[in-house]
Amino acid sequence: MLCWVCGGVTSTGMHWRKWSGSNFVGQNRVRAPQSEWVCPACVYFASRTSPVPGRPPKPGNKHGGNYRNYSHMFDANSYVNASKGEKPAILAWLQRPHKGPWFAAIAESGQKHVLLWAPVNPGRGRGRIRFEEQTIELPDKHGWSVVPQLCDLLTAGATKASVKTGDYTPREWELCGHRLTTFEARWSYLRGGGWFDLALWLAQRDEEKTATRQVAEKEKKRGRKAKRSNPRADGGSAARSEGAVSGRRREPSQALGSAQHEAPQRGETCERGGGLAHDDVPEPPARKPVEEQLSLFDRAGA
């Protein structure tokens, strides 16, 4: 009979209804939906209590690692499991030659069982692997060169989210525009495929080089800020101040001199006592046209 989950041949197993329970959500991924039995291997690797080699329980915990939390790689020479934080180990294993039947189940999220659906490759060659819910054919040695170029982009300032879509921000173009142009011309045709997703997931930036770049960027930004806040060394601020004063309208000296000889007006200082002399200023005489207009009214009344 066939295993309901992996589709492998098995002579014994557990009924799928008893095994799956209410929390199983992989019904759309089962390989032999016509079967009713789950093989012992799938039962073991999907169990929360099955111990993962090299992943013992932490102090105070009952269980160690769960198989779904790790990537698993196997051939005739070795078995390796790795967490998401151990991507260099995964990359090195995938790139090296393999002996005998081998498989690789790469867990992207750590929340889904991947090992149960990993294809087994018969021997040497590029082979196929399982990456979360995708089955991917690995490239030849030339195809692997996309990974270091992705690492270079990430170190220079690009983000994985932008590289995945090809929609880069103005800041990313400012930081590494030449690299982005070169990368897109060479590798953009891979975008949207499983291999591109896996390569981007495996790529990591160089943390030491990134830290050095970020320090240099902060110093450059600090220098620009200081240049804006401080006066220019060539006296530009003083020149602007002088220009502003010279632009004001000035009264001619002759006009100012003639004003000194005018008669004091109401509210101005008089020469005699230095105080205000409102009473000394005579009232202006009534204008004659007004008197003539009033006399017309008097004649009209008479």
174 lies in the same domain as 148: yes
Q: Tens of pLDDT along 59-117?
A: 999 889 999 999 999 999 999 999 999 999 999 999 999 999 999 999 999 999 999 99
In Å, the largest CA–CA distance within the chain is 144
Q: How many domains does the chain have?
A: 3
- Cross-strand pairs, 15: 37
Answer yes or no: is 283 within a domain. no
Answer yes or no: is 57 within a domain. no
Q: Tens of pLDDT along 187-239?
A: 999 999 999 999 999 999 999 999 999 999 898 888 877 888 776 655 555 44
The reported pTM is 0.72
165 lies in the same domain as 217: yes
∠ Cα 15 19 21 (to 5°): 125
Q: Tens of pLDDT along 229-266?
A: 776 655 555 445 555 545 555 555 554 444 444 544 54
- Boundary residue ending a domain (194, 213, 230): 230
Domain extent at residue 187: 142-230
Answer yes or no: is 272 within a domain. no
134 lies in the same domain as 148: no
Answer yes or no: is 174 within a domain. yes
Q: Burial code of 166-205, b = ≥16 C-beta within 10 A, e = fewer?
A: eebeeebeebbeebbeebeeebeebeeebbbbbbbbbbeb
12 lies in the same domain as 36: yes
Helix (H, G, I), strand (E, B) or coil at 193: coil
Answer yes or no: is 207 within a domain. yes
Handedness of CA 269, 274, 275, 280 (dihedral sign): negative
133 lies in the same domain as 153: no
- Boundary residue ending a domain (230, 250, 285): 230
- Boundary residue ending a domain (138, 157, 175): 138
132 lies in the same domain as 164: no
CB 99, CB 109: distance < 8 Å: no
> Which distant-in-sequence residues (6+ apart) come within 8 Å of 127 by Cβ?
98, 102, 121, 137, 138
Answer yes or no: is 96 within a domain. yes
> Which distant-in-sequence residues (6+ apart) come within 8 Å of 237 by Cβ?
231
Answer yes or no: is 164 within a domain. yes
Answer yes or no: is 99 within a domain. yes
